[in-house]
Amino acid sequence: MHAMIAPLALLLERWFGYPQRLVELIGHPVIWMGRFISYMERGVDKRQRTPRQRRDAGIFTLAMLLLVTLTITLAVQQVLRSMPLGWVLEIMLATPFLAQKELCRAVEAVAIALRNSLDAGREAVSHIVGRDPQALDEAGVARAAIETLAESTSDGVVAPWFWLVLLGLPGIALYKAINTADSMIGHMNERYRDYGWAAAKLDDLANWIPSRLTAVLITAACFVTPHASPSKAWAMARRDARKHASPNSGWPEASFAGALGFRLGGPRSYDGEIVDLPSFGDGKSALVGSDILRALVLYRSTLNVLLGVSVVLAVLLWVA
């Protein structure tokens, strides 16, 4: 049943996304999760505690988040599957945990803004990256947008889909809870090194297979994408993915770089501090707005390949 719901959820979210009016009316599941994490942090993360106590507090926060998420989604799934057309509602409830449409819109907005001016491009990219936008030139803005697109193809689309296929509505919701916790507290700075340890480690584990699957999907998408190289996509993923500090993020980023003949990564600025990061790929690094559009073509092809895989998997399980 999970695999049969997945392709329809992909299609529905790709067409309609999550309406902004709905966000304004009731919020979004990720917003609700974020509020819960913030509430728990205020209650249990005391600065005067020892590193071990703060790590235990982080484990407790994550456990409570996952317990609440699992309890709610299991109950909802049980109710829906007892209804004649409950599967339709289950598809609709799965779509907010996918980010195909919004990711495309946000990255395309950077390309459009950069066409108008560098300042407009910096403003647009500031909504999707954590680095200092004012420190970016045109190539830096373009690279930042493409790097975000590559990484988010994995943790915003492929990973949620993977856990939906595997575990249904509870699976995709639990994954998003883990990913949200990691984005909020899973940082290697003084404040979160101990408290966010569990969130960061569990996010690495939850993304291990999906990140590598994403590289495979990107490589396959190159066969139907003009001027994209499948051989270089896979070669760069295998060669450069290990350079990334994350065990997962390098796979989609390196495969995008190889596929399109780009060089991504490299030094960047966070809060005024230059961080020397590795590069991915051997191609050009002086990227422009049109290169973002090229990356979006590959992204859409990857979504098509993912949808095709999802449909085939659903059919195979249906006839089995």
Model confidence pLDDT, tens digit, residues 274-288: 666 789 999 999 999
- pTM over the 0.85 mark: yes
Model pLDDT, residue 266: 80
Model pLDDT, residue 275: 63
Q: What is the rounded distance in angstroms from the CA atom of residue 256 to the CA atom of residue 246? A: 16
Model confidence pLDDT, tens digit, residues 91-114: 999 999 999 999 999 999 999 999
Quick one: which H or E segment has residue 296? helix 289-319
The whole domain housing 118 covers 2-319
Q: Which residue has the tokens 């902004």?
A: 20
Residues 6+ apart with CB under 8 A from 42: none
Q: Where are the beta strands (DSSP E) in the chain?
A: 264-265, 268-270, 273-275, 279-280
* Angle formed by the axes of helices 100-116 and 118-125, nearest 10°: 160
Q: What is the rounded distance in angstroms from the CA atom of residue 121 to the CA atom of residue 5? A: 38
Across 187-196, average pLDDT: 88
Go through the chain and tell me how many residues it has: 320
Quick one: which H or E segment has residue 32? helix 29-44
Model confidence at 44, in pLDDT bands (50, 70, 90)?
confident
Model confidence pLDDT, tens digit, residues 199-254: 999 999 999 999 999 999 999 999 999 999 999 999 999 999 999 989 999 999 99
Per the structure, the count of domains in the chain is 1
Model confidence at 256, in pLDDT bands (50, 70, 90)?
very high
Quick one: which H or E segment has residue 304? helix 289-319
- Please say if the pLDDT value at position 271 is more than 80: no
Mean pLDDT (the chain, rounded): 93
User: In degrees, to the nearest 5, what angle opens at C-alpha 297 toward C-alphas 101 and 124?
Assistant: 55
Model pLDDT, residue 319: 81
Which residues are registered as beta bridge partners of 284? 262
Q: What is the rounded distance in angstroms from the CA atom of residue 311 to the CA atom of residue 305? A: 10
